Chain A
Amino acid sequence: MDPLFTWTDFFVLKPAILLSLFGCGILLTDFLLKQGRWNALTALVGEGFVAVALWQHCEDVAANGQRFALGGSMAVDGFSVFFNYIFVVSAILAIIIASRYMDDEKSNRGEFYGLMLFAQAGMTVMAQGYELVTLFIGLELMALSFYVMVGFLRNELRSNEAAMKYLILGALSSGFLAYGFSIFYGMSGSTNLAAIADAVAGREISDPVLLIALVTTSVGLFFKISVVPFHMWAPDVYEGAPTPITAYVSVASKAASFAMMMRIFLVPLVSVQELWMPLFGAVALLTMTLGNIAALTQNNLKRLLAYSSISHAGYILLGLAAGNETGLKGISLYILVYIFMNFGVFALISAMRREGHATEDIDDLNGLMHRHPGYAILMLVLLLSLAGIPPMAGFYGKYFIFLGLLEAGSYLLAIAGALYVAVSAYYYFRIVRAMFLIESLEPAVIAPGLGTKIALVASAVFTLLIGLYPEPFINMATGSILLSLR
């Protein structure tokens, strides 16, 4: 009989184990030492260890290709390594922004960083899972940590309310997802994705059971990536959550949900592509329409970015609707770029204060160019990238996704996507206009801490770097494409 737990299993699980250990460690040291300032540092050290473990994964993939562990329920491949690195980068950015922000909000407690690491452990399981139970538990670990983090400002009604809405809709979507999973289990008698792939391939495409499973699973995942018509929670949660968590939810949780979506739709469901591709195309089109149009009228920056992030999810979903190698490369690249441009903007928002309170209206940025020209120029880089203007990084993600659509022959979707880029430029330029052209009578104080400054500068630098010298990043994205489609 095989041993229950081997070194390979340990090797494959190492990022998740390290994150859980450091998360528990932070809870313990926070309780024993009562020295709040060490928590963020401990979390960063944990991220360092995880990055090293991922480097080992990376070398292993280069040598051995895809590898399975724990009876085939976890995998290591280029896909999982790429997404795990994305989670590490976004967690580091969230931690360094949060340490100052949570101090200002007077709720800088150890659990906060512990929960960040637990959420990230859930994400690594989502990216590596190759089996339904594992994927579901990874998703729930992430989601439960996020519900608490969104509601972390206990004395603030907005934060409570956002957490409550997030929990109700999140739990509803998890229920739908689990229902879809249970039907996949019934169809195949196994929870392993490879076994489900065989069972699905043997079914008629018009089989109603398959259809129910496909629809409930898609609904569950659509909620998590916040696409229309399951996007209602996103603006409320983004507005009510502490700003570093808004950034973390909008980037990392979305990336993890996309990773899980690709694992499910590109491994077991790849044989019924013609069933889900039109669905994804239609949903992406609706999402871009509503996200871009609703963003036009927003005055709250966090809410505007929520609608913009809904429309970005629509673009990323277009890559799946294209369903070819170029489209998937576009998804990976888009998500990579999206971390930097989104985190940079949220870093600046987290530093805005008015009489000691966080403030987040577009008007608060008025005249930023005259007061802090450095920040204004960094913001300009990030906003141009979000709009997808060519020299910036945001252009390349969109470029590959549209190219994938053209290769797949979906001209209509490609044209619609390109048109909505023009609409989105309008609301990003509204922010630029406030910063550069409008004089401010009562300026908001913008005093970022050291971590926030580093996050802002690093985000802008990477956005420019990926835009001007994209080759290595495109190669990384190519290496992350799921094997089944190569």
Chain B
Amino acid sequence: MPVTHYLVLSMALLIIGTVGVLTRRNIIVILMSIELILNAVNINLVAFSDYLQNINGQVFTIFVITDAAAEAAVGLGILIALFRNKETVHADEIDILRW
């Protein structure tokens, strides 16, 4: 398969993820959308790595996956702390800080 197919897929994932972060109410779904964006990056990197026959991209992918895991852990941790003080997972109900 030519590399452009993968690039179109990753572009689509990036856009879906971004729209998800900006429009969804549920914070868990927002965190999932962020994972989609990072997976778009991974697809890009692995596709380029295969196309260029160069290993660096796969190394980068492993680091991105690790980072995504750490981010999800911290994100869910903060969400639990938030949920203890105010029982909601909806982004639009978290609104004390506003100008």
Whether, in the assembled complex, A176 has its beta carbon less than 8 Å from a beta carbon of chain B, the answer is: yes
Closest A-B pairs by Cβ, 5 of them: A175-B37, A186-B48, A182-B44, A160-B82, A236-B97
Q: Tell me whether A185 and B71 are in contact (CB under 8 A).
A: no
The interface bits of chain B over 28-50 (1 if a CB of A lies within 8 angstroms of the residue's CB, else 0) are 00110010011011001101100
Say yes or no: A144 contacts B71, CB within 8 Å.
yes
Binding site for A on B (CB under 8 A): 10, 14, 17-18, 21, 27, 30-31, 34, 37-38, 40-41, 44-45, 47-48, 51-52, 54, 56-57, 59-60, 63-64, 67, 70-71, 74-75, 77-79, 81-82, 84-86, 91, 94, 96-99
- Report B-chain residues with C-beta under 8 Å of the C-beta of A191: 56, 60
- The answer for the CA separation of A2 and B67 in the assembled complex, in Å, is 29
B99 surroundings in chain A (CB, below 8 A): 235, 294, 298, 303
Decide: A140 and B45 in contact? CB cutoff 8 A: no
Q: Which of A158, A175, A182 sits near B45, CB closer than 8 Å?
A: A182
Q: Name the distance in Å between B22's Cβ and chain A's nearest Cβ.
A: 9
Query: In the bound complex, what is the Cα–Cα distance between A434 and B87 (angstroms)?
Result: 39
> When the two chains form the complex, which single residue of A162, A171, A183, A298 contacts B71, counting CB atoms closer than 8 Å?
A171
Closest to A307 in B: B99
Contact residues, A176-192 vs B (CB, 8 A): 176, 178-179, 181-183, 185-186, 189-191
| B54 interface neighbour in A156, A172, A189, Cβ under 8 Å | A189
Given that A182-B44, A190-B56, A191-B60 are contacting pairs, would A158 and B34 also be in contact in the complex, using a CB cutoff of 8 Å? no
Q: Can you show 18 pairs from A to B with CB atoms below 8 A apart? A: A132-B60, A136-B64, A147-B74, A147-B75, A155-B85, A156-B85, A157-B82, A157-B85, A157-B96, A164-B94, A167-B78, A168-B31, A176-B37, A178-B38, A179-B41, A185-B57, A186-B57, A236-B97
- Total interface residues in chain A, CB < 8 Å: 44
Chain B: CB-nearest residue to A159:
B81
Q: Point out the residues of chain B lying under 8 angstroms from A176, CB to CB.
A: 37
- Are A185 and B45 neighbours in the complex by a CB distance under 8 Å? yes
Q: Is the CB of A239 closer than 8 A to any CB of chain B?
A: yes
In the complex the two chains form, is B52's CB within 8 Å of A189's CB? Answer: yes
Q: Please, which residue of chain A has its CB at the minimum distance from the CB of B82?
A: A160
The closest CB in chain A to the CB of B27 belongs to A164
Cβ–Cβ contact B81 & A151, under 8 A: yes
Whether A161 pairs with B41 at a CB distance below 8 angstroms is no
Distance of A172 Cα from B14 Cα, bound (Å): 10
Whether A147 contacts B78 by the Cβ 8 Å rule is yes
Given A162-B97, A168-B30, A185-B57, answer yes or no on A179-B40 (Cβ-Cβ < 8 Å). Answer: yes
Residues of the B chain whose Cβ atoms lie less than 8 Å from the Cβ of A430: none
B97 nearest CB across to chain A (Å): 4
A404–B27 Cα distance when bound, in Å, is 44
